[in-house]
Amino acid sequence: MEIWVVVLGVLMVVGAIAVLFQRSLRNSIITFGIISLMSALIMAMMKAYDVAITEASIGAVLTTAIFFWSLKRVEEDGYDEKK
Amino acid sequence: MKRNNRLIINLFALVVVLLFGFISILAVTDGRSGLTMFSADLQHRVSYAFLLKSVSHPERASNATVEPGGRDYEDGAANVVTSVVVDYRMLDTFGEVLVLFAAAAGVGLLMTERKRVVEHDASIVVKTAVPLVMLFAIITGAYIVLHGHLTPGGGFPGGAIIASGFILQFLAFRESPKRLIFKILESLAGLGILAVGLVGLFVKGSLFANFIATGTLGATISAGTVLIIYLLIGIKVAAELASISGDFIGGEQRIGG
């Protein structure tokens, strides 16, 4: 139990660094959502259920959706990832 | 040159990860370092007084026992986190609500109306499934909002879940949501929260004081103003997030079918 929290924490740090080194911004956004899910899992394991529910609904779902929409908007304005 | 830079950054990241893992393992295993996780002396924490639900009456805190079915506690919320967030520290939560309002106002200001061509309509499977899923999302969100003072959850996550139901509908049917209704609801809920706080100020002498009798611990209608405030926060957050997503999606023009 306790060791799983540590493992998940280390995985979160690795994921946060992996966000920076992704090839495309879409992959970065998905990785970001996965980090949010892992942090929600950690909070549930540490019995902070209020924070876990908030993190799962806002951090994992809404933030990801808003990032995707803003990326779409920016691409409509002529931003190209490959440049 | 660029490749070299990447290598250095990767090595730095590796060192950071190893350091973090080392500190984490140390914190879990070594009890004498002062960095102990999972064990804390509750008696010397402020949260202990909050757990006994008697912070403004210290003479009651020493022998206070809180049990289900008890009546007229200082704060009648069975969920300790809620009693801290919405009662004892309500001013912080009000600031949080204001921050969310500022974010929604900024999005509404920056995201101008824009016509967009939709080439691909959503498939029939999505269009059939989304109303069902939306129904479940709204019911779950309403449950979480209404039971915020009893079980984990509350206005913020419940409102977000309700808003995610609306977002699914926007995405599946590609329709421009009626955003005026959301904005009116949001403003009314915000004014309601402020009104509850001001009534507390005039009745009990402090902003956001719990001025209604708290009732039976564990009952659905209990905890005085906590239930009302969480209901208003739930409406406000749901309307706010739905209108933010509506601003992002914008006015779409359907061409394909």
pLDDT tens, residue by residue, A22-46:
888 888 899 899 899 889 888 888 8
CA distance A58 to chain B (A): 6
Contact B220, B82 (CB under 8 A): no
Nearby residues of B185 by Cβ (< 8 Å), 6 or more positions away: B235, B236, B239
Nearest to B157 among A3, A5, A57 (CB): A57
Polymer length of chain A: 83
Predicted pLDDT at B56: 60
* Sign, CA torsion B195/B96/B171/B248: positive
ipTM of the complex: 0.81
CA distance B165 to chain A (A): 11
**Tell me, what DSSP letter sits at residue B216?**
B
Predicted pLDDT at B256: 47
CA distance B24 to chain A (A): 6
On whether any CB of chain B is under 8 Å from the CB of A7, the answer is no
pLDDT means over runs of 10, chain B (257 residues): 71 82 67 53 62 61 61 73 82 88 84 66 84 90 87 85 86 70 86 88 80 75 83 90 79 51
State the CB neighbour count (10 A cutoff) for residue A24.
11
* CA–CA dist B72, A3 (Å, integer): 42
On whether any CB of chain B is under 8 Å from the CB of A14, the answer is yes
Paired tokens of B249: 């999606």
On whether any CB of chain B is under 8 Å from the CB of A74, the answer is no
What is the rounded average pLDDT for all residues in chain A?
Answer: 84
* CA–CA dist B254, B257 (Å, integer): 8
Paired tokens of B14: 């590796």
Contact B55, B74 (CB under 8 A): yes
Contact B180, B39 (CB under 8 A): no
Residue A20 has pLDDT above 80, yes or no: yes
Distance of CA B166 to the CA centre of its chain: 17
Q: Which residues of A touch B81 (CB under 8 A)?
A: 50
Q: Which residues of B touch A10 (CB under 8 A)?
A: 17, 20-21, 24
Contact B220, B145 (CB under 8 A): no
φ, ψ dihedrals at B95, nearest 5°: -60, -40
Domain chopping of chain B, boundaries: 2-40, 77-256
Nearest to B24 among A10, A58, A70 (CB): A10
* CA–CA dist B23, B21 (Å, integer): 5
- From B14, which residue of chain A is nearest by alpha-carbon distance? A14
